[in-house]
Structure 1
């Protein structure tokens, strides 16, 4: 298994390396990984594989919460620290919110800082949050990536 470039065995999508704490939080399973063993996510929204290692596979249905990049419904969290959903972001934008701060004030959901564990990719939700606001505003979203941002690094 090549840890430099891993793909999902089910769909062939390039995988993203994660921290095990985020996966343990979503699966309820303690992962006893060696120092060299990695855990990955398949970011393909149409693939049922959520997380995988060389020997383990977790499907989206095996998780405690839906993954924002797999589930396009309004009740999926975008900010997992505050349990702020896609639908709440859409509603806040519909009522005049245009920024993350605006949405947090409107919803009263502004808890942050536990992204390493709460977010399903173990990184800040800022990029996904901005993506959702842009979509709700009718703008062409700039897209989100799975790279850490400066606010939570």
Structure 2
């Protein structure tokens, strides 16, 4: 099974973010272990369930299901697409597709970025659960961003 298969994507849960109240999505512990800074990693409680908050207006990235822990973008090794509007922020963490690169590619005749990413996914090369802060496949984010470029 690969990280982008439908059966392996995170599911929305009925646990609301303690900071903004939005429903979160389950995230695997391996995601936190891969992306939290070392000093923060020392504080995780492996028996907890962890949840990703995708709300762009919320400073919380991860929180524990029992709300005993909250982690913000400053606790991670990299910026979070949903929380950071920078053009150098990855939309696809596995294959280096930033907002800037997607914008540049949209104005060319090259194969669409989503199609290029799909080839890598089908070849078993993605590692979203350890590279992407949301812990799930980025193709939805890539497609939505590219649609937004075309609408402008």
Please give the range of the TM-score, normalised by the shorter of the 2 chains.
0.7 to 0.9
The structure that is helix-richer by fraction is: 2
Distance (Å, rounded) in 1 between the aligned partners of 2:21 and 2:145: 26
Distance (Å, rounded) in 1 between the aligned partners of 2:149 and 2:129: 26
Alignment of 1:54-73 (within 5 A): 54-73=67-86
Q: TM-score with structure 2 length normalisation?
A: 0.74
Q: Contact 1:93–1:103 (CA<8 Å) still a contact in 2?
A: no
Displacement of 1:98 after TM fit? Answer: 6.4
Structure 1 stretches lacking a partner, 5+ long: 105-110, 140-153
Aligned to 1:45: 56
Dislocated runs of 4+, deviation >2 Å: 95-99, 101-104
- Count residues in correspondence: 130
Q: TM-score with structure 1 length normalisation?
A: 0.74
Displacement of 1:65 after TM fit? Answer: 0.8
The structure that is strand-richer by fraction is: 2
Q: Looking at both structures, which has the greater relative contact order when contacts are Cα pairs under 8 Å and sequence separation is at least 6?
A: 2
Aligned to 1:18: 27
Note the alpha carbon deviations across 1:46-69, whole angstroms, 9 max, x for none. Answer: 111111113221111221111111
